A and B are shown apart, each in its own frame.
Chain A
Amino acid sequence: MKSLTTIADFLRARFPIEKMNLQSMLMKKEVPIHKMSWAYYLGGLTLLFFTIQVITGLLLLFYYQPTVNEAYDSVKFISDKVPGGAVIRNLHAWTSSAMILTAILHLLTTFAMKAFEKPREVTWGTGVLLLFITYTFGFTGYLLPWHQLSVNATKVGLQFIGAVGQYLPGSLSELPNKLIEIIQGGPSIGQETLSRFYAIHVVILPLAIFAILGAHLLSVQLHGMSKGVDEKPKIKEPFFPNFLIKDFSLWAIAFLILFILAITIPFESFFSFPLVEPYNALGSTPEGIKPEWYFYFIYYPMELLPFWVIIIIMILLVLGLFLVPKIFSGTSRKTLTFIAIIAFIYFVTMTVFGQQIFELIKGGHS
């Protein structure tokens, strides 16, 4: 009974009913102005990119065929024959990367600004969940074009899950392989895998993200923006309409940049062409198979370090992210900013120079 009361109190403090009205959530809301104010726009940008993802994704659904025989051709058809198809597809691809980038930056700046403090633990927790879902969107969506790169990169990704088995005791060691079979829908990647990834990408993940995003946005609006800096912010501006107008102006600029990128640079021009040929199950794995750029921060360490080290790091990272409000409750914003900067530098270094670092240490191609 006592624990139930504790839970109810916790929820009441995080979702105060008295604040659930337009006046409190929109009209009276204020945004602090200080040196880190730019970071308040990152969440909104991520939301914009998600909206673009939903709209372009729905349009792609009209033509995409989720079968191993037709997937590649249907994607080619969208790009080559459907009016505006190439732009929609490129917009979907460019926006997915933009969404992951802003989601990561949003997480790091939120951490640096200590926006996970009581009563914002739920905002933080749902935010971390949203980041994981966004990554899963990226992983499942990557397979759908069914070309050499997408299928082989997915195989590599799934192999990492299988490799965990060697560190598990007894019959548990079989668990990762069973999990792979469940994900693949069989002993190897094929039609069942494509069907499952398609269902996860277009139904399961959107449902999950809508539910969690709802809780996340509600929590943000109920508690307002965190003060963000150690000292009390001297200046504040109204959320409505001042901040919202600035937010929308940024949305307009971001959309235009993405549109220009989508209309001028096909996303696949960054891959060498044998990799974007249709997947050949009987052929050998082509050179240069790599996951998408946003996995490099974990992919290159996986290639360089013993796998058990990676497992420990991953477990600590995932647990640590969820437990941030507990672990860093007493830490100053200066220290948090320092940690966030280090994490950002590591992410950028691995993303941009990961290949060079790998070649320098291992002296070959990954």
Chain B
Amino acid sequence: MKKSQFIYIFLLLLVYSFELNAYAYPEFYEYSRKVSGRNTNCALCHTHGDGPEGFEEGQIKSLNKAEMERLMRARSAFQPGIKVKSPILNAFGNHIIYKIGKKKFLELKSHPENLPKELGFKSDLDRDGIPDAQEYLDGTLAISKEDGDPKKLFIANIRINIKHIILAILSVSLMFFGFVALLKGIHLKTKLNNSNGGDKNEKI
């Protein structure tokens, strides 16, 4: 084997092993943790809460060939607007890559506070009424409608469910009205029966 060929194969192996290494970019969840005060972890953007390294589901060493290809495609999505479905990222992680591209994302590593601005406040993956970028700042999961700031969820869900709430108020009020009428009716009938019975007794 020629020396140049050897160097070429060595470099290729080096690049390949470099590509297989997992990156968690803790700068982002650490920033989220700092501003929100919540115990956020890799699950903010990753499939697995402990990050991409490991053998468990959603971690790099458990991936099959097809998943590996999806991972490589996601890793090469340097420009925004490319739909990716990385198996080690959750929907929010994939959305970040789609929205700003891998290149911009890597640039933001030193300024994780700029991520919400770059993402914008329109996307709401879990449809809980709180934008994904806001959930990042609040230290809550952007892909779980059960996870969110309770006060913000309350306001958002009041707006979303206002029809249900009005219907519930109407139906409970109607049921209550009917029930009270029924109770009053029973009471009146009992009173009438008692007074009639009383009269009869007196006559007897």
Which residues from chain A sit less than 8 Å from chain B, CB to CB? 27, 79-80, 86, 240-241, 244-245, 248-249, 252, 255-256, 259-260, 263-266, 268-270, 272-277, 283, 286-288
* 17 A-B pairs with C-beta separation under 8 A: A86-B146, A241-B183, A248-B183, A249-B176, A249-B180, A252-B172, A252-B176, A255-B172, A256-B168, A260-B168, A264-B161, A268-B146, A269-B140, A269-B153, A273-B43, A273-B147, A288-B39
B73 in contact (CB, < 8 A): no
- Looking at chain B's contact residues, is the secondary structure mostly helix, strand, loop, or mixed? helix
Are B183 and A244 neighbours in the complex by a CB distance under 8 Å?
Answer: yes
Write out the residue numbers on chain A whose beta carbons fall within 8 Å of the beta carbon of B40. 272-274
Write out the residue numbers on chain A whose beta carbons fall within 8 Å of the beta carbon of B179. 248
A356 shortest CB reach to chain B, Å: 14
Cα distance, A269 to B141, chains bound together (Å): 10
B134 in contact (CB, < 8 A): no
B190 in contact (CB, < 8 A): yes
Write out the residue numbers on chain B whose beta carbons fall within 8 Å of the beta carbon of A288. 39
Write out the residue numbers on chain B whose beta carbons fall within 8 Å of the beta carbon of A79. 146
Cα distance, A266 to B127, chains bound together (Å): 13
Among candidates B38, B141, B144, B161, residue contacting A263 with C-beta atoms closer than 8 Å: B161
B177 shortest CB reach to chain A, Å: 10
Are A287 and B39 neighbours in the complex by a CB distance under 8 Å?
Answer: yes
A242 shortest CB reach to chain B, Å: 9
Within 8 A of A (CB), among B135-176: 139-141, 144-150, 153-154, 157-158, 161, 164-165, 168-169, 172-173, 175-176
Write out the residue numbers on chain A whose beta carbons fall within 8 Å of the beta carbon of B173. 252
Which residues from chain B sit less than 8 Å from chain A, CB to CB? 38-41, 43, 49-50, 139-141, 144-150, 153-154, 157-158, 161, 164-165, 168-169, 172-173, 175-176, 179-180, 183-184, 186-187, 190
A29 shortest CB reach to chain B, Å: 13
Cα distance, A248 to B178, chains bound together (Å): 12
B40 shortest CB reach to chain A, Å: 7
Write out the residue numbers on chain A whose beta carbons fall within 8 Å of the beta carbon of B43. 273-274, 277
Cα distance, A256 to B174, chains bound together (Å): 13
- Indicate whether A266 sits within 8 Å of B146 (C-beta atoms), given known contacts A244-B183, A256-B172: yes
Most buried by A among B50, B147, B149: B147
Nearest CB to that of B188 among chain A residues? A241
Nearest CB to that of B152 among chain A residues? A269
Write out the residue numbers on chain A whose beta carbons fall within 8 Å of the beta carbon of B150. 265, 269-270
Write out the residue numbers on chain A whose beta carbons fall within 8 Å of the beta carbon of B184. 241, 245
Most buried by A among B154, B173, B175: B154
Write out the residue numbers on chain B whose beta carbons fall within 8 Å of the beta carbon of A248. 176, 179-180, 183
Nearest CB to that of A282 among chain B residues? B56
Write out the residue numbers on chain A whose beta carbons fall within 8 Å of the beta carbon of B50. 283
Among candidates A86, A245, A265, A272, residue contacting B139 with C-beta atoms closer than 8 Å: A272
Cα distance, A274 to B147, chains bound together (Å): 10
Among candidates B140, B165, B183, residue contacting A273 with C-beta atoms closer than 8 Å: B140
Are B144 and A240 neighbours in the complex by a CB distance under 8 Å?
Answer: no
Among candidates B39, B49, B149, B190, residue contacting A269 with C-beta atoms closer than 8 Å: B149
B143 shortest CB reach to chain A, Å: 10
B118 shortest CB reach to chain A, Å: 23
Are B161 and A245 neighbours in the complex by a CB distance under 8 Å?
Answer: no
Are A27 and B161 neighbours in the complex by a CB distance under 8 Å?
Answer: no
Are A241 and B176 neighbours in the complex by a CB distance under 8 Å?
Answer: no
- Indicate whether A27 sits within 8 Å of B49 (C-beta atoms), given known contacts A264-B161, A265-B154: no
10 nearest A-B residue pairs (beta carbon):
A264-B157, A266-B146, A241-B183, A252-B176, A241-B187, A264-B154, A268-B146, A272-B38, A273-B147, A272-B39
Other than the given A86-B146, A240-B187, A269-B147, 17 more pairs (CB < 8 A) read: A27-B190, A241-B186, A249-B180, A252-B172, A252-B173, A265-B150, A265-B154, A266-B145, A268-B146, A269-B140, A269-B150, A272-B40, A272-B139, A274-B39, A274-B40, A275-B39, A276-B147
